[in-house]
């Protein structure tokens, strides 16, 4: 029986190459840096796996400091000595020391450990992560979605052009601040994409009910594919009211942390998609639980992220591919961060708006440890 022997935590400052704002706040500014916490888990035979937390404090309630201290003081002591294959036990131990409130407590910190353990197990087995999760090991690719967050019309036009030139077919845009402006943005983007492009509106909790009704009506006419998270995550009743007044497909993101969260929305027929978000949901193990609920309900998948790094991007794509989903995936870290020092081979893995999953074992990539030392926050 192989057990978890050690877990190292690396809080990093990764340079931001452009700003990223949305209705509930910002994930950082150009010239600044983004907090990423890498985790390396090692078993008693020296096998290892990598995971990542990307706390966005204005998106959820976890920060660089809370993720780091929660990992070091609570989650890691709780899981040392656990049998490496025991993923149910991993979450039992993590949830027993950081409990639940209305939903899973501190899911982003937990996701880093969960993803690292999945990587370790697949590496031990010498198979790709998607194969360990029940999928094929054949090479495949996952199509990404280009994120458009500009509120300035000329900048939006330039950004659409940049996305198309980079090879993206699908796009998602940030809305939820000003309904009439959002409708014009939707029209502008839709006319530039092909008919088979998936175009996805994300309000990041920003609308009041009357605004959501107005936008949903126009978005349906314009040809928007889905409206994500129109209302504050804890105002669930508003989704019922919107549902009754629109034919536009709906989805949730910030509202959907635990498997039970998703089950509640599905059982009330309030959503048309599952948005897989590995870090938001506490890792791969609970995400697979959500996928099973969606499959049982006949609901299709989407993938998104938290402007995370390449490691989480690949882990998310591996998880989706294991269940036969190949995009669109709004995993947009490359638009906003420069992580080339961590992943020098990145252009061979992600290019022309797609992520290639080859026969590499585990997640399929690991960060360069010299790069980690360059970006490490030694004072944390
Ligand atoms: Mg979202």
Model pLDDT for residues 236-273, shown as the tens digit of each residue: 899 999 999 999 999 999 999 999 999 999 999 999 99
**C-alpha radius of gyration, the chain, whole number:** 20
Measure 38 CA to ligand 1 centroid, in angstroms: 22
Please count the CA atoms within 13 angstroms of the CA of 202 that sit on its side-chain side.
Answer: 28
Measure 173 CA to ligand 1 centroid, in angstroms: 10
Measure 44 CA to ligand 1 centroid, in angstroms: 38
**pLDDT at res. 170:** 97
Pick from 182, 148, 140, 138: nearest CA to 168: 148
Domains of the chain, each with CATH number or no CATH? 4-127+369-375 (3.30.390.10), 132-357 (3.20.20.120)
Measure 337 CA to ligand 1 centroid, in angstroms: 18
**pLDDT at res. 129:** 98
**pLDDT at res. 22:** 87
**pLDDT at res. 322:** 98
Q: Are 229 and 261 in contact (CB under 8 A)?
A: no
Measure 333 CA to ligand 1 centroid, in angstroms: 14
Measure 290 CA to ligand 1 centroid, in angstroms: 16
Measure 52 CA to ligand 1 centroid, in angstroms: 19
Measure 228 CA to ligand 1 centroid, in angstroms: 6
Measure 305 CA to ligand 1 centroid, in angstroms: 8
**pLDDT at res. 92:** 98
- Residues 248, 228: Cα–Cα separation, whole Å: 10
**pLDDT at res. 23:** 85
Reported as a single tens digit per residue, the pLDDT across 322-332 is: 999 999 999 99
Reported as a single tens digit per residue, the pLDDT across 53-89 is: 999 988 899 999 999 999 999 999 999 999 999 999 9
**pLDDT at res. 340:** 97
| Burial grade of 216 (CB within 10 A; 0-12, 13-18, 19 or more) | buried
Measure 359 CA to ligand 1 centroid, in angstroms: 30
**pLDDT at res. 37:** 98
Alpha-carbon distances, residue 191 vs 150, 153, 195, 223, 249 (angstroms)? 17, 14, 9, 10, 20
Residue 286 is encoded by which pair of tokens? 């609970």
- Residues 132, 221: Cα–Cα separation, whole Å: 42
- According to DSSP, the β-strands at 226-228 and 199-202 are parallel
Measure 275 CA to ligand 1 centroid, in angstroms: 8
How would you write the pLDDT of the chain (380 residues) with one tens digit per residue? 899 999 999 999 999 999 888 888 888 888 899 999 999 999 999 999 999 999 998 889 999 999 999 999 999 999 999 999 999 999 999 999 999 989 999 999 999 999 999 999 999 999 999 999 999 999 999 999 999 998 899 999 999 999 999 999 999 999 998 999 999 999 999 999 999 999 999 999 999 999 999 999 999 999 999 999 999 999 989 999 999 999 999 999 999 999 999 999 999 999 999 999 999 999 999 999 999 999 999 999 999 999 999 999 999 999 999 999 999 999 999 999 999 999 999 999 999 999 999 999 999 999 999 999 999 998 88
Measure 170 CA to ligand 1 centroid, in angstroms: 15
């Amino acid at each position: 029986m192989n057990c978890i022997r050690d877990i190292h935590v690396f809080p990093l400052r990764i340079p931001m190459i452009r700003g990223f704002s949305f209705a509930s706040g910002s994930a950082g500014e150009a010239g600044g840096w983004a907090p990423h916490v890498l985790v390396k888990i090692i078993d008693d035979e020296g096998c290892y796996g990598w995971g990542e937390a990307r706390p966005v404090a204005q998106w959820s309630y976890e920060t660089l400091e809370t993720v780091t201290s929660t990992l070091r003081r609570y989650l890691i002591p709780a899981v040392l000595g656990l049998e490496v294959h025991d993923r149910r036990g991993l979450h039992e131990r993590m949830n027993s020391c950081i409990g639940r409130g209305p939903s899973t407590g501190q899911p982003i910190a937990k996701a880093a450990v969960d993803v690292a353990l999945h990587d370790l197990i697949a590496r031990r087995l010498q198979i790709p992560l998607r194969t360990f999760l029940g999928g094929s090991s054949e090479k495949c690719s996952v199509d990404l979605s280009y994120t458009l967050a500009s509120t300035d019309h000329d900048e939006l036009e330039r950004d659409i052009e940049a996305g198309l030139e980079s090879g993206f077919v699908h796009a998602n845009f940030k809305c939820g601040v000003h309904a009439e402006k959002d409708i014009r943005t939707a029209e502008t983007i839709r006319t530039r994409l092909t008919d088979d492009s998936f175009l996805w509106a994300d309000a990041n909790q920003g609308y009041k009910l009357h605004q959501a009704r107005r936008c949903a009506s126009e978005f349906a006419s314009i040809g928007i594919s889905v409206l994500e998270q129109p209302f504050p995550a804890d105002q669930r009743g508003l989704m019922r009211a919107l549902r009754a007044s629109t034919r536009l497909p709906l989805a949730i993101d910030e509202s959907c942390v635990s498997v039970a969260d998703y089950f509640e929305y599905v059982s009330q027929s309030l959503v048309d998609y599952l948005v897989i978000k590995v870090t938001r949901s506490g890792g791969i193990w609970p995400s697979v639980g959500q996928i099973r609920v969606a499959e049982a309900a006949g609901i299709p998948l989407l993938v998104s992220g938290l402007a995370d790094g390449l490691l989480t991007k690949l882990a998310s794509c591996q998880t989706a591919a294991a269940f036969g989903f190949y995009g669109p995936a709004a995993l947009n870290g490359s638009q906003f961060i420069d992580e080339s020092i961590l992943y020098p081979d990145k252009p061979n893995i992600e290019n022309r708006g797609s992520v290639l999953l080859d026969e590499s074992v585990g997640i399929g990539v690991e960060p360069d440890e010299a790069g980690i030392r360059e970006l490490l926050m030694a004072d944390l």
